Amino acid sequence: MSEIIENARREKQDVLKGIIRELHAGVPVEKLRKTFAALIKNTSPEEIADMENALIQEGFPVEEVQRLCDVHAQVFDKALKKAGKPSRIPGHPVYSYVQENMETASLLKELKRAAKPLVKGHPDKADIDRFSAVFARFKEIEKHYARKENQLFPALETKSFTGPSKVMWSKHNEIRALIKKTEAAFVAEDWSEMSGTLASLSGAVKKLIFLEEKILFPTAARKLNTSDWARIKKGELEIGYAWIKPSNLWDAQLAEAMTATMPAKIVGPGSPAPEPATKADGKTGGAIDLSRGSLTAEQIDLMLKALPFDITFVDENDRVRYYSDTAERIFPRSPEIIGRAVQNCHPPKSVHVVNAIVQAFKDKKRDSADFWIQRGGAFVLIRYFPVYDASGAYRGIIEVSQEVSKIKALEGEHRLLD
């Protein structure tokens, strides 16, 4: 499998080399636009940047590689003129949402077909396996909702448009509950019950798609500017997509550069990444003094990311200030939640619990709050701890989430390293 991936990467790199050679030979940019558009359609900006860096390492002049930016700019400009609106360009967050909705509608039809033999009674193993496979695929819809909750809603909240996060999050949870009910009926082989919950699930999902495409997405396209969409796009990969692999025709960095009020050098595919700024307390600077010892910002970041659990910090003003960017998160997080009110990071029906915990910590009536839930085969422990400074003043909350099924299963003693 790795050999196939590597061969595909080499083929793409050969295409880039060909474009650069033709640019050097004087071929007009517009003649190379189509080739470059086909290349970036299924190639991430990061992948193109890596290939460009490899070309420079092979000896291609930096100036020649940078000329790819002119090609990319023309491809983007033509796509924008053809689409009429940025949200209609493949790769734009709204376009990806709509693509997922199309896949959702198709999967609902597949589910209906797969359920027919079960509902009739006495299905064979092939019928059961077929429905199980389609239903497992359908459950990827969670990524669609998680991106809305963690990427789109926070951006809209900054525009004082909070309705979607309060109303639609409840709709998401209704659908999640119906998915669980359908799955439970399927496991119990209660085909009559499954038929009813599946019909309710299909109806709820279709209604939400209507609300998204007729109200949410058009309103979001009007209220959010290019910088907002660029931030949303950059954070999407942390959560992932349901069923689709978005095109990269709409490029966040290029979109920002082309719509900037002041002239700016375009940085993105076609341009080497800028050198990181040096900070006094950052990766390239000195250490930060702590109560016990001192660490650089890089060391602190690496340490927090290496912990076997997720950490989120909420400050004294109830704003999310940090989450540990671990390799395998238990709950979806994205950069858009930084600065967001913690109340808006939870479904409406849970906000009263969040407020109760926060107030109890502020009043020093509790020193922790623990919850545990089961997610599939995982047993997740969620703990909240208040943070006070040296004077005893409340400074925030630490949320710690950990999958503890293996810890729960421990018995006896284990003193030696295997």
CATH classification at residue 230: 1.20.120.520
Whether residue 196 lies inside any domain: the answer is yes
Kindly tell me if the per-residue pLDDT of 69 is higher than 70. Answer: no
Percent of the chain with pLDDT over 70: 74
* Per-residue model confidence (pLDDT) at position 76: 61
* Per-residue model confidence (pLDDT) at position 132: 95
**Domain boundary pick from 65, 86, 107:** 86
Please state the rounded mean pLDDT for residues 30-55: 67
* Per-residue model confidence (pLDDT) at position 269: 38
* Per-residue model confidence (pLDDT) at position 368: 93
Taking each continuous run of H as one helix and of E as one strand, the counts in the chain are 17, 7
Residue 50 makes CB contacts below 8 A (sequence gap 6+) with none
Task: Say which residue the tokens 């703990």 belong to.
Answer: 383
**Picking from 2-11, 108-117, 155-164, 188-197, which range would have the lowest pLDDT averaged per residue?**
2-11
Residues 82 and 174 in one domain: no
Contact criterion met (CB below 8 Å) for 309 and 323: no
* Per-residue model confidence (pLDDT) at position 200: 96
Instruction: 393-396: list long-range contacts, CB under 8 Å, 24+ apart.
Output: 393/316, 394/316, 394/361, 394/362, 394/364, 395/315, 395/316, 396/313, 396/314, 396/315, 396/316, 396/321
Residues 150 and 15 in one domain: no
Instruction: 26-33: list long-range contacts, CB under 8 Å, 24+ apart.
Output: 29/70, 29/71, 29/74, 30/74, 32/71, 33/71, 33/74, 33/75, 33/78
**Picking from 21-30, 131-140, 267-276, 308-317, which range would have the lowest pLDDT averaged per residue?**
267-276
Contact criterion met (CB below 8 Å) for 400 and 382: yes
Kindly tell me if the per-residue pLDDT of 67 is higher than 80. Answer: no
Kindly tell me if the per-residue pLDDT of 5 is higher than 90. Answer: no
**Domain boundary pick from 67, 86, 105:** 86
**Picking from 74-78, 84-88, 268-272, 407-411, which range would have the lowest pLDDT averaged per residue?**
268-272
Residues 238 and 311 in one domain: no
Kindly tell me if the per-residue pLDDT of 20 is higher than 70. Answer: no
Residues 166 and 192 in one domain: yes
**Picking from 23-27, 216-220, 332-336, which range would have the lowest pLDDT averaged per residue?**
23-27
Better-scored residue on pLDDT, 364 or 31: 364
Residues 240 and 109 in one domain: yes
Q: How confident is the model at residue 29 (pLDDT cuts 50, 70, 90)?
A: low
Whether residue 398 lies inside any domain: the answer is yes
Residues 67 and 99 in one domain: no
Question: By residue range, what is the domain housing residue 214?
Answer: 92-246
Q: What CATH number does the domain containing 316 carry?
A: 3.30.450.20
Kindly tell me if the per-residue pLDDT of 252 is higher than 80. Answer: no
Whether residue 299 lies inside any domain: the answer is no
Residues 317 and 383 in one domain: yes
Residues 96 and 82 in one domain: no
**Domain boundary pick from 246, 261, 293:** 246
Q: How confident is the model at residue 136 (pLDDT cuts 50, 70, 90)?
A: very high
Residues 54 and 108 in one domain: no
Whether residue 286 lies inside any domain: the answer is no
In angstroms, the CA 53 to CA 57 distance is 6
**Picking from 26-30, 212-216, 245-249, 397-401, which range would have the lowest pLDDT averaged per residue?**
26-30
* Per-residue model confidence (pLDDT) at position 370: 92
Whether residue 268 lies inside any domain: the answer is no
pLDDT by residue (tens digit) across 356-390? 999 999 999 999 999 998 877 789 999 999 999 99
Whether residue 296 lies inside any domain: the answer is no
Whether residue 358 lies inside any domain: the answer is yes
Contact criterion met (CB below 8 Å) for 281 and 289: no
In angstroms, the CA 149 to CA 238 distance is 13
Q: How confident is the model at residue 81 (pLDDT cuts 50, 70, 90)?
A: low
Kindly tell me if the per-residue pLDDT of 100 is higher than 80. Answer: yes
Residues 50 and 183 in one domain: no
* Cβ atoms < 10 Å from Cβ of 258: 15
Residues 105 and 209 in one domain: yes
Give the chain's domain count.
3
Better-scored residue on pLDDT, 343 or 256: 343
Structure token digits, residue 379: 């047993």
* Per-residue model confidence (pLDDT) at position 293: 87
Whether residue 325 lies inside any domain: the answer is yes
Please state the rounded mean pLDDT for residues 79-108: 85
Kindly tell me if the per-residue pLDDT of 49 is higher than 70. Answer: no
Report the SS3 class of residue 155: helix
Kindly tell me if the per-residue pLDDT of 280 is higher than 50. Answer: no
400: Cα separation from own chain's centroid: 20
Residues 162 and 232 in one domain: yes
Kindly tell me if the per-residue pLDDT of 271 is higher than 90. Answer: no
Better-scored residue on pLDDT, 150 or 39: 150
